[in-house]
Amino acid sequence: MDIPLRKSCSRVQSHFSQVATAYREIRTTDIEPIFFIREKLGERDRLMAGDIGCGAGRYDRLLLEHLPLSRLLCIDANIDMLKETRRFLTETRAGNFRASASRSEHLPIRDHSMDCLFTFNAIHHFDFGQFLRETRGALKHLGHLFIYTRLPDQNEASIWGKHFPRFTEKETRLFTLEDMKKKIIGQDALALEEVKLFRYPRLSSLEKLLFQVRERHYSTFSLYTPEELDEAVQEFKANILGDFPDPNHLEWTDGNVMLILRKMPVPHRRLPSSRT
DSSP conformation letters of 116-173: EEEEES-GGGS-HHHHHHHHHHHEEEEEEEEEEE--HHHHHHSHHHHHSTTHHHH---
Return the CATH architecture of domain 29-155+171-200+255-263: 3-Layer(aba) Sandwich (3.40)
Segment 10-47, tens digit of pLDDT? 666 777 777 767 777 778 899 999 999 999 999 889 99
State yes or no: pLDDT of 117 exceeds 70.
yes
Paired with 97 in beta bridges are 72
For the chain, which residues make up each domain, given as ranges? Answer: 29-155+171-200+255-263
Confidence at residue 217, expressed as pLDDT on a 0 to 100 scale: 84
Confidence at residue 15, expressed as pLDDT on a 0 to 100 scale: 75
State yes or no: pLDDT of 138 exceeds 50.
yes
Are 222 and 276 a contacting pair, CB within 8 Å?
no
Percent of the chain with pLDDT over 90: 81
- Judged by DSSP in three states, 9 sits in helix
State yes or no: pLDDT of 2 exceeds 60.
no
217/96 Cα distance (integer angstroms): 28
Paired with 259 in beta bridges are 147, 195
Segment 174-203, tens digit of pLDDT? 999 999 999 999 898 999 999 999 999 999
User: What radius of gyration do the chain's Cα atoms show?
Assistant: 20
Confidence at residue 276, expressed as pLDDT on a 0 to 100 scale: 35
- Judged by DSSP in three states, 53 sits in coil
- The structure's pTM equals 0.90
Confidence at residue 9, expressed as pLDDT on a 0 to 100 scale: 53
